[in-house]
Amino acid sequence: GAGVSQSPSNKVTEKGKDVELRCDPISGHTALYWYRQSLGQGLEFLIYFQGNSAPDKSGLPSDRFSAERTGGSVSTLTIQRTQQEDSAVYLCASSLVSLAGSSYNEQFFGPGTRLTVL
């Protein structure tokens, strides 16, 4: 069907509140990534899911950040007790596979969620 979708497109919240960001990957894609894009910082890797394997959480900046992927499809990134430094665009990407050496490693990106923490 359509490409990767993310919701909401914009989220403004107050410091200390929790937020949930949603990603709907392309149907059939086994790999799903979350990145954070800040001005001048490029794309910061957060977490990656590959099929039924345990997720790689090595990029999560603190224990306030968590993510889950239900049924191998939709993913939710949760930020608890938001801080002003969490303000950024959060990008989700999916790919058919995520395996070094494969020609199917192309990531398809969603439009992102712009998070502003006041």
Site of interaction with other proteins (CB under 8 A): 3, 33, 35, 40-43, 45, 48, 50, 56, 58, 91, 93, 98-103, 105-107, 109-112
Question: In whole angstroms, what is the distance from residue 17 CA to residue 6 CA?
Answer: 20
Residue closer to other proteins, measured from CB, 64 or 109: 109
Question: In whole angstroms, what is the distance from residue 24 CA to residue 17 CA?
Answer: 23
Residue closer to other proteins, measured from CB, 29 or 82: 29
Question: In whole angstroms, what is the distance from residue 16 CA to residue 1 CA?
Answer: 37
Residue closer to other proteins, measured from CB, 82 or 113: 113
Nearest distance from C-beta of residue 113 to other proteins, angstroms: 13
